[in-house]
């Protein structure tokens, strides 16, 4: 297996990382490391954006969203504060609760950990983009049927994580669902019903084990 | 006396949440989703000192930050802060980024003061005082019943234990906060609250406004668990920012803010002595307990129900008892009501002691409970649970499970003696000539399914389908109802809807001459109304609800004695809540209570740093909540008692879980870990494999 090229590995290539360094840090670094200086020179030859607002175009739910944003604005803030797409929720703003999960090219991503300027040129799907012509997606319908939610604030995140799972795995096991939802937190404790809903969306029915006993 | 129908189509069956589609599509607008025209972002500057005398605050540089429209002080320029995270000032601007810049630009001059954050240290006579004029801790008075000293002498077995529970943080997924618009016409707050009326009163009180000038709207909110009854400092700050900036301000707390300043469950340190006769009859109970409610110092400080006292000896009848309880103040955020205040720590303490005594007596833990629990309903629940769980087949002597990974089982009971209904619950229904009907109640849905309960009861009473009922809640302009607390919502609103429906049918008969407007006659009757809609008010009526509720839970665990890792394999909850209104959402609430109790048992704890006075885990990385992979197989048995009417379930479901898990762990490894959360480190220390952590 070939190792990925460092330049293209993951979300943060060396180039984007250097770009994101502040001038002060970069100056200190150039004094010490020649390779960093060379990298910076290359970066500075390109257009450095910010700190003022720049034009950003996001492809969200099949539509173009054109915004003026400071480069430091996250994808989550862009959606919630600069458009009316408030379906992705802010629960922590630091990549630990998953309430902001959206799909980027079908993969689940924490929108709070992606800068909006970095999310251009990809297909973004939010929870608002799942239902087609007013008809709930299979995952959404299963969440409603199994009552896989209480307050519902974490729900968009779980729905997106399960949707992403079912796009690549048509017959998930309970363990697959748990793995897919490992990055989502729920404080109301809807987990057992979320598991049932995810399996139901994949065509596996789990009947409730709840038993009702008359006292009298 | 009114009574619920015996034959039902919707009540006691399962109806999917009527607002489920709104929640899974992102259409539901939570308080933090509100985008009022021209809205600004708001943020709060908090104290970085655990105690300090603030002598000056300069907002000038903050006001010059591009995009900033207003900056306000929390309490003037000179005051004392008493915990890390206390509010100092707030800013509003056109973006979160501008606000972050502005918070950094606020200059605060302060003299740090001595502080104490550890309960045991705070009790000492020479500890720094949290409040200058009163000691942190006062020796409590003893409440005596019978003659405890003589009774201990007559016991066949006596145990003594020291059981402790940590400060737990509510951590609803949506933090607290509001969008507030305050103009000369009045104030509108879109509030993430579990009490629209109490927030209205709070804002009116702190801002000196007439109640009629304040409107609170809560269409959807993301969980509360007791923390979200009041308008809070953040509410007043958002209002003042809005007034100053002449624009609506959305000020939601950050996750960091949420952990520090807006409530928690007090800790408890329970020294318990318990004794019984040879036949298992409890004879004597003695407890000395203290805990901290932060700077609240006990009582009901910080929003009601936030005291450090716990009910004792809780479920059990003991003829002779002595109970001493007190709270100790520390430099940390105040306690608030938290799902069944006082009960989870009480259940954990006494149920641990019960199991320890059962072991000493050589009795089966369930038999021992049956001997001493006076509740007939719980007796039945234990009997059902023992069968369903396979208790007799699974029970082994403590520590006798073979191998490295040991299994164990345990049980515990719950009571929720408060609850009942709010008699001041009102509502109205507007019936239109085309047969559409809208219910309006001034309550809010904390996530338990309030709209669905209203739709289910109305559909049953009117012979319609739940989806034909429009339900509006969460607005102080609607007839008033209670806050979502104390497991009172369902028993408050169900009889209210019953009353509205009864009156609506009577009025339809009078106005249209149709004797029974229910079901297939509904649309014909409504059409006869002519051009005018009919609005029918109603209120809570006696005889359709009651309290208390209770339950028992059984836990099965695996404990890896080499790593200390606990895996909860199974929880069985057997609960009673009178007439079951909607089985599906009821099951969700019980699951949720159990999972929250599991977090309390194994993961959750506010960690304070004694040296810096700082909370070390105000986030989800280091304050651990149960995740989906941690959640065990949960089974629920509901005792249906329609003759008792509607009873709430939200709180009792979370009460016994920690005690049951703790007892299962003790049963597995043969030694007691007497402090929550039961972490791998504590288990290995209890097994003598690592030294105990020093406080």
The answer to whether the CB atoms of A150 and B33 lie below 8 A apart is: no
The answer to whether the CB atoms of A187 and B173 lie below 8 A apart is: yes
**Contact with chain A for residue B254, Cβ under 8 A:** yes
* pLDDT in the model for residue B296: 82
* pLDDT reading at A42 higher than 90: no
Name residues 372-401 of chain B within 8 A of A (Cβ). Answer: 377, 380, 384, 388
* pLDDT reading at A23 higher than 60: no
Mean pLDDT calculated for residue range B343-349 = 97
* pLDDT in the model for residue A32: 64
* pLDDT in the model for residue B1: 85
**Tens-digit pLDDT profile for residues B406-422:** 999 999 999 988 778 99
Q: What is the pTM of this model?
A: 0.94
* pLDDT in the model for residue B335: 93
Residue ranges of chain B that CATH labels 3.90.1170.50: 34-113+176-252
Mean pLDDT calculated for residue range B169-186 = 97
Pick A94's closest partner by Cβ from B97, B594, B619.
B619
Give the Cα separation of B26 and A170 in Å (integer). Answer: 25
The answer to whether the CB atoms of B30 and A126 lie below 8 A apart is: no
The answer to whether the CB atoms of A189 and B593 lie below 8 A apart is: yes
Tokens of A210: 């709840």
Residues of B in contact with A99 (CB under 8 A): 173
* pLDDT reading at A24 higher than 60: no
The answer to whether the CB atoms of A128 and B26 lie below 8 A apart is: yes
Mean pLDDT calculated for residue range B82-91 = 98
* pLDDT reading at B542 higher than 50: yes
The torsion angles phi and psi of B385, rounded to 5 degrees, stand at -65, -40
Domains A54-129 and A138-201 share a fold: no
Pick B223's closest partner by Cβ from A151, A181, A192.
A151
* pLDDT reading at A1 higher than 80: no
Which CATH fold would you assign to the domain A138-201? DNA polymerase; domain 1 (1.10.150)
Domain boundaries, chain A: 6-45, 54-129, 138-201
* pLDDT in the model for residue B308: 86
Tokens of A1: 């297996």
Give the Cα separation of B54 and B567 in Å (integer). Answer: 48
CA distance B170 to chain A (A): 9
CA distance A36 to chain B (A): 29
Name residues 541-580 of chain B within 8 A of A (Cβ). Answer: 576, 580
pLDDT, mean over chain B: 95
Name residues 164-193 of chain B within 8 A of A (Cβ). Answer: 171-175
Residue ranges of chain B that CATH labels 3.30.365.10: 20-29+421-539, 268-418+546-686
Give the Cα separation of B342 and A3 in Å (integer). Answer: 57
Domain B20-29+421-539 architecture:
2-Layer Sandwich (3.30)
**Contact with chain A for residue B455, Cβ under 8 A:** no
Q: Which CATH superfamily is domain A54-129 in?
A: Beta-grasp domain (3.10.20.30)
CA distance B646 to chain A (A): 15
- In chain B, the percentage of residues whose pLDDT exceeds 90 is 95
- How many beta carbons lie within 10 A of that of residue A134, not counting itself? 7
Give the Cα separation of B117 and B138 in Å (integer). Answer: 17
The per-residue DSSP string of B286-348 comes to: EEEEEE--GGG-STTTTTSS--S---SSTT---SEEEEEEEEB--SSPPP---SSTTHHHHHH
Q: pLDDT-based confidence at B694, cuts 50/70/90?
A: low
The per-residue DSSP string of B196-235 comes to: HHHHHHHHHHHHT--GGGEEEE-SB----TTS-SS-HHHH
pLDDT, mean over chain A: 87
Give the Cα separation of B571 and B3 in Å (integer). Answer: 34
Of B29, B6, B127, the C-alpha closest to B460 is: B6
Q: pLDDT-based confidence at B302, cuts 50/70/90?
A: very low
Give the Cα separation of A21 and A34 in Å (integer). Answer: 16
Indicate the helix (H) or strand (E) that contains B408.
Answer: strand B405-416
Contacts of B540 (CB under 8 A, 6+ apart): B421, B422, B423, B424, B425, B426, B492, B495, B496, B499
**Contact with chain A for residue B481, Cβ under 8 A:** no
Give the Cα separation of B528 and B516 in Å (integer). Answer: 13
Which CATH fold would you assign to the domain B34-113+176-252? Aldehyde Oxidoreductase; domain 3 (3.90.1170)
Indicate the helix (H) or strand (E) that contains A155.
Answer: helix A155-168
Contacts of B501 (CB under 8 A, 6+ apart): B429, B457, B458, B461, B462, B538
Mean pLDDT calculated for residue range B73-93 = 97
Domain B268-418+546-686 bears CATH identifier 3.30.365.10: yes
Mean pLDDT calculated for residue range A170-185 = 97
Mean pLDDT calculated for residue range B665-691 = 97
The answer to whether the CB atoms of A140 and B221 lie below 8 A apart is: no
- Partners of B470 in beta bridges: B438
Q: pLDDT-based confidence at A25, cuts 50/70/90?
A: low
Contacts of B55 (CB under 8 A, 6+ apart): B77, B78, B109, B110, B111
Contacts of B203 (CB under 8 A, 6+ apart): B187, B189, B209, B214, B216, B231, B235, B236, B239
Tokens of B520: 């297939």
Residues of B in contact with A87 (CB under 8 A): 25-27
Closest-CA residue of A relative to B620 is: A96
């Amino acid at each position: 297996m070939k190792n990925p090229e460092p330049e293209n590995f993951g979300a943060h290539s060396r180039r984007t990382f250097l770009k994101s360094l502040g001038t002060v840090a970069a100056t200190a670094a150039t004094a010490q490391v020649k390779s960093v200086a060379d990298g910076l020179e290359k970066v500075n030859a390109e257009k450095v954006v910010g700190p003022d607002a720049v034009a950003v175009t996001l492809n969200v739910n099949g539509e173009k969203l054109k915004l003026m944003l400071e480069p430091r604005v996250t994808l989550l803030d862009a959606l919630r504060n600069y458009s009316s797409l408030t379906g992705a929720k802010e629960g922590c703003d630091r990549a630990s609760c998953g309430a902001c999960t959206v799909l980027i090219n079908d993969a689940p991503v924490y929108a709070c950990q992606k800068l909006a300027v970095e999310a251009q040129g990809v297909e973004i799907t939010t929870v608002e983009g799942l239902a087609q012509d007013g008809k709930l997606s299979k995952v959404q319908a299963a969440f409603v049927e199994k009552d896989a939610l209480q307050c519902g604030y974490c729900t968009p995140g779980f729905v997106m994580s399960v949707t992403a799972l079912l796009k690549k795995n048509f017959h998930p096991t309970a363990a697959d669902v748990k793995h897919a939802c490992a990055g989502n937190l729920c404080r109301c404790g809807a987990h057992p019903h979320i598991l049932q809903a995810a399996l139901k969306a994949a065509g596996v029915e789990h009947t409730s084990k709840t038993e009702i006993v008359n006292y009298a | 006396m009114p009574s619920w129908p015996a034959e039902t189509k919707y009540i006691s069956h399962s109806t999917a949440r009527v607002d489920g589609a709104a929640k899974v599509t992102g259409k539901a607008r939570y308080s933090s989703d509100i985008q009022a025209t021209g809205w600004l972002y708001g943020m709060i500057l908090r104290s970085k000192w655990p105690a300090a005398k603030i002598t000056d605050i300069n907002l000038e540089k903050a006001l010059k930050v591009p995009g900033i429209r207003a900056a306000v002080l929390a309490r003037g320029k000179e005051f004392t802060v008493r915990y890390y995270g206390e509010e100092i000032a707030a800013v509003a601007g056109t973006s979160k980024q501008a606000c972050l810049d502005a918070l950094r630009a606020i200059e605060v001059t302060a003299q740090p003061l001595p502080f104490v954050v550890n309960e045991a240290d705070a009790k000492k006579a020479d500890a720094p005082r949290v409040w200058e004029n009163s000691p942190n801790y006062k020796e409590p008075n003893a409440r005596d019943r019978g003659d405890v000293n003589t009774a201990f002498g007559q016991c066949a077995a006596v145990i003594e234990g020291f059981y402790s529970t940590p400060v737990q943080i509510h951590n609803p997924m949506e933090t607290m906060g509001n969008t507030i618009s305050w103009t000369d016409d009045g104030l509108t707050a879109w509030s993430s609250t579990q009490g629209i009326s109490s927030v209205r009163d709070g804002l009116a009180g702190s801002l000196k406004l007439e109640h009629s000038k304040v409107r609170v709207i809560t269409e959807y909110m993301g969980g509360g668990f007791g923390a979200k009854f009041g308008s809070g400092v953040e509410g007043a700050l958002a209002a003042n920012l809005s007034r100053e900036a002449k624009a609506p301000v959305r000020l939601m707390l950050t996750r960091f803010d949420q952990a520090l300043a807006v409530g928690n469950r007090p800790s408890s340190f329970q020294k318990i002595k318990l004794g019984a006769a040879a036949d298992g009859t409890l004879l004597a109970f003695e407890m000395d307990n203290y805990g901290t409610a932060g700077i609240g110092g006990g009582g009901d400080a910080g929003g009601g129900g936030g005291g450090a006292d716990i009910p004792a000896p809780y479920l059990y009848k003991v003829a002779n008892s002595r109970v001493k309880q007190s709270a100790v103040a520390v430099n940390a955020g105040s306690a608030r009501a938290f799902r069944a205040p006082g009960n989870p720590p009480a259940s954990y303490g006494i149920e641990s002691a019960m199991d320890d005594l059962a072991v000493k007596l050589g009795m089966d833990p369930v038999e021992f409970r049956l001997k001493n629990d006076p509740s007939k309903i719980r007796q039945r629940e234990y009997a059902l649970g023992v069968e369903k769980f396979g208790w007799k087949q699974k029970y082994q002597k403590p520590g006798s499970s073979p191998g490295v990974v040991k299994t164990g089982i345990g049980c515990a009971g719950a009571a929720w003696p408060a609850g009942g209904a709010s008699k001041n619950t009102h509502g109205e229904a507007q019936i239109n000539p085309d047969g559409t009907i809208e219910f309006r109640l001034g309550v809010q849905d904390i996530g338990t399914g309030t709209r669905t309960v209203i739709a289910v009861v109305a559909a049953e009473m009117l012979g319609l389908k739940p989806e034909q009922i429009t339900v509006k809640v969460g607005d102080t302009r609607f007839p008033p109802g209670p806050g979502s607390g104390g497991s009172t919502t369902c028993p408050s609103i169900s009889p209210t809807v019953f009353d509205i429906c009864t009156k609506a049918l009577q009025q339809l008969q009078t106005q249209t001459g149709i004797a029974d407007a229910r079901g297939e006659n509904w649309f014909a009757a409504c059409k006869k109304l002519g051009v005018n809609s009919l609005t029918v008010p109603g209120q809570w009526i006696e005889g359709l609800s009651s309290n208390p509720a209770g339950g028992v839970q059984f836990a099965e665990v695996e404990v890896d004695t080499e790593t200390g890792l606990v895996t909860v394999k199974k929880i069985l909850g057997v609960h009673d809540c009178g007439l079951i209104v909607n089985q599906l959402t009821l099951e969700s609430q019980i699951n949720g209570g159990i999972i929250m109790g599991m977090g309390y048992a194994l993961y959750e704890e506010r960690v304070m740093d004694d040296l810096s006075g700082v909370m070390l885990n105000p986030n989800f990385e280091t304050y651990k909540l149960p995740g989906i992979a941690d959640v065990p197989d949960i089974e629920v048995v509901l005792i249906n008692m329609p003759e008792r009417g509607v009873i709430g379930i939200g709180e009792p479901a979370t009460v016994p879980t920690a005690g049951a898990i703790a007892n299962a762990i003790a049963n597995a490894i043969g030694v007691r870990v007497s402090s929550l959360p039961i972490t791998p480190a504590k288990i290995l220390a209890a097994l003598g494999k690592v030294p105990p952590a020093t406080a």
